[in-house]
Amino acid sequence: MRWYGSMALAAAVLVLGALVTLGVSSVITGKERRSAQLAIQRQSDLAAAAVAGEVRRYVDTIDNVAAALGSHDTLSPQAFERATSRIPALAGATALVFVVPADGPGVTAAQAAWRAAGAAGLTFKPAEGIQEHYFGVYARQLDGDAPLDGGSDLGDNPDLADVMRQARLSGHAAVSNAALIAGGQRRTLSLATPVTGADGALRGWVVLGLRGEGFFDGALGEVLHRRVTATLAATQTGGGLLPIATVHRLAVPGDALRRSKDIGIAQRVWHLEVTADPRDLPGAYTDRPLVATAAGAALTVLVTLLVYLLSTRRSKAMTLVHEATRELRAAEREARDQAALQQAILTSLGEGVTVVGADGRVLLHNPAARQLLGTAGDPDTLEDWPAHYGAYLPDRATPFPAAELPMVKALRGVSVDRVEMVIRNPTHPDGILVSVSARPLDRSGGGPRGAVAVLHDITALRRYETELAQFAAVVAHDLKSPLTAVHGFAAVAADALSADAAQVAPRRPDTAKVAVERVRQGAIRMRSIIDDLLAYTTARDAPLNLTDVDLRAVVESVVADRTALAPPMQLAKASTVALPPTPRIHIGDLPHIKADPGLLRLVVDNLIGNAIKYTPAGQTPNIEVTALSDPDCVILVVADRGIGIPDGHKARVFESFYRARPADYGGTGLGLAICRRIVERHGGSIAVEDNPGGGTRFCVSLPTASRTTEPDPIAALRTYGPSADAGWERLMRPSDVNAS
């Protein structure tokens, strides 16, 4: 991964981290918002329930008092005292008053009756201008203020008159409207419940005066969360709501949470409003979103850095791995190329290469070694090599001693050079002569890990060497006799031509003439030998120049030369100069062929020359030169009526220097060897047979299409001599050269 890949990955992680952080933060915020809403709702419900519950408790209290008061036929001050002595603490309550109704004329009677019941000194003080009068008879002060004045007319207060009217009508407790008193400083309200006698008749009311703040504080002071503000509003005379108390008055921020709730109180509906700063509510508006955002951002940055570092490291590591892999691949490719090259070298080597391991098992034969050894499969041990491959000493009879095998010596750490051995087996039935050199492999580690041997086929080389030796011997021998003759006859001529002191003419001119003729014949003989040697070399080594050749023209040219050539070589043996009869040569139809014209002429010249030469002395050579055509080849036939070749010699007349009748006719024994070499280089063959009716017939078969047997330059290095002769093994034994 490159650097921009790492950057992209890091950026992706950063964006993802930021999104997750924002998501988590918004989830927490949402949760807190919901939690705040729930909290304010809970506070609101709690406050409403507390107010309603507290009012109920107050109502129950005055109902109990009313019931207790109603149970007395005559309500004495003591009875009132007893009935109200055990009322529970009622926060905000100012006084509990027993109120009775009285109308115009009945006021005095009522006053008298209550005085009679025990309220001594009770004086009803009817307010003016009102129809209904409500007089307080007994009162219990609850807030420690001065006791109420008995006999006051509460009908003077419209709110009180109204609540009592409501209570009388409903038969149950009622609550008054709220009112401001003390110059607007206080909010008051009252609860009133009817007092009925045993007969069900209304006897009065129990009225409980309340101060708004006190009541509300008492109801909510302990219940409401101290950071929540609650305001209670009650109905007021004239319509609308009058706030009667506020608990926990706090500064209210713009985003404050609010809840309003209506509370049914007796026949009226109060209104409760709850407000709170969301930050003050438990579980709401905490620092958690901020903390989560900060932590998420920090974590995101950290993870991003880590991812970037890791990915760049990974990218560097990957780059290193890629480079190492590339180098390894290159090294492997180079090693493979090297191996292939070595394999190719081994395969194309003309020399055989064989490698064995330390245990003597064959590890490798290149194709040349396999071809030289000639057998498929390899023996398990080196001891079996001589028998398996057919290895013999150069005497061709004694099996090669296993202990002397070059490979065995090399495994012992000894280098061996040019050991000759004969390999003879079904692949090489005539045997080949092989030169073997062997070396130990890797001697540094204490002992050879194996050995390598190089096998070189020296069969042809040895044949060539032998041939050269024979060649030298023949040249020396054959050149010596004409040279001796030239030397001797030259002396005779000189002697015959020398004049004595008294005479001016030569003494013996005839003798000198014969001697000079002999000198000339000796020179001809030597030239013949040298020509043959040159022709032999040309036939072997001259490059082929294949062109279209008119065979008839070649034959006619040779015949013309041969018949003009006088005296023939037999003159060397003749004691007198006598011209031989002119040969009769019949030339048949001869085609054009593809051949080297110079070399082809050599073949024709040798065959016609032999046909003339090997005719008995004095007999006219009778020769036919014809041709047989075939789609694939042309067969040139040279037939004579000469002395013929005995059957025992026919197989060998094509060998170099072989002569069937060396004593009777001059020659080098190279002519037919030259012919065979040239014909074979053209891809053809040559054979000899008896000419029916007497004489000899040579058949030269040449392919019509060019099919030369020219060797490739490398193979030519190994093929030093002419093609294999049937009796080549004789040539491998230099001692036999002279015998042949």
- The residues that touch ligand ADP, with contacts defined as CB under 6 A, are 606, 610-611, 614, 640, 642-645, 653, 659-661, 667-673, 696
Contact 91, 217 (CB under 8 A): yes
Nearer to ligand ADP, 229 or 466 (CB): 466
Closest distance of CB 670 from ligand ADP, Å:
6
Nearer to ligand ADP, 471 or 614 (CB): 614
Closest distance of CB 488 from ligand ADP, Å:
24
Nearer to ligand ADP, 166 or 470 (CB): 470
Nearer to ligand ADP, 91 or 653 (CB): 653
Nearer to ligand ADP, 177 or 528 (CB): 528
Closest distance of CB 588 from ligand ADP, Å:
18
Of 374, 367, 373, 420, the C-alpha closest to 395 is: 420
Of 551, 688, 541, the C-alpha closest to 610 is: 688
- In degrees, to the nearest 5, what angle opens at C-alpha 401 toward C-alphas 397 and 404? 130
Antiparallel, parallel or unpaired: β 584-587 and 622-629: parallel
Nearer to ligand ADP, 610 or 701 (CB): 610
Taken in order 651, 655, 660, 665, the sign of the CA dihedral is positive
Nearer to ligand ADP, 482 or 667 (CB): 667
Closest distance of CB 469 from ligand ADP, Å:
19
Closest distance of CB 401 from ligand ADP, Å:
42
Contact 374, 388 (CB under 8 A): no
Beta-bridge partners for 586? 624
Nearer to ligand ADP, 512 or 686 (CB): 686
Contact 280, 227 (CB under 8 A): yes
Q: Output the furthest CA–CA distance in the chain (Å, rounded).
A: 238
Three-state SS at 89 = coil
Nearer to ligand ADP, 457 or 478 (CB): 478
Contact 98, 137 (CB under 8 A): yes
Structure-block tokens of residue 511: 């003798």
Beta-bridge partners for 111? none
From the CA atom positions of the chain, what is the Rg in Å?
Answer: 77
Contact 507, 474 (CB under 8 A): no
Closest distance of CB 655 from ligand ADP, Å:
8
Contact 385, 402 (CB under 8 A): yes
Closest distance of CB 607 from ligand ADP, Å:
7
Nearer to ligand ADP, 245 or 474 (CB): 474
Q: Which residue is nearest to ligand ADP (CB)?
A: 667
Task: Return the DSSP state at 736.
Answer: G
Determine the Cα–Cα distance for residues 20 and 12; give it in Å rounded to an integer.
12
Counting every residue written for the chain, the total comes to: 740
What is the end-to-end Cα distance of the chain in Å, rounded? 86
Structure-block tokens of residue 439: 């070396």
Nearer to ligand ADP, 346 or 636 (CB): 636
Closest distance of CB 674 from ligand ADP, Å:
8
Closest distance of CB 553 from ligand ADP, Å:
23
In this structure, the dihedral spanned by the alpha carbons of residues 719, 725, 731 and 733, taken in order and rounded to 10 degrees, is: 100
Structure-block tokens of residue 349: 């080597």
Closest distance of CB 591 from ligand ADP, Å:
23
Nearer to ligand ADP, 436 or 602 (CB): 602
Closest distance of CB 664 from ligand ADP, Å:
8
Closest distance of CB 740 from ligand ADP, Å:
13
Structure-block tokens of residue 36: 């705040």
Residue labelled with tokens 């030796």: 469
Structure-block tokens of residue 58: 């107050």
Nearer to ligand ADP, 349 or 523 (CB): 523
Render the burial of 131-150: b for 16+ CB within 10 Å, e for the rest.
eebbbbbbbbebeeeeebeb
Closest distance of CB 470 from ligand ADP, Å:
14
- In degrees, to the nearest 5, what angle opens at C-alpha 673 toward C-alphas 669 and 674? 110
* Cβ neighbours of 465 (radius 10 Å): 16
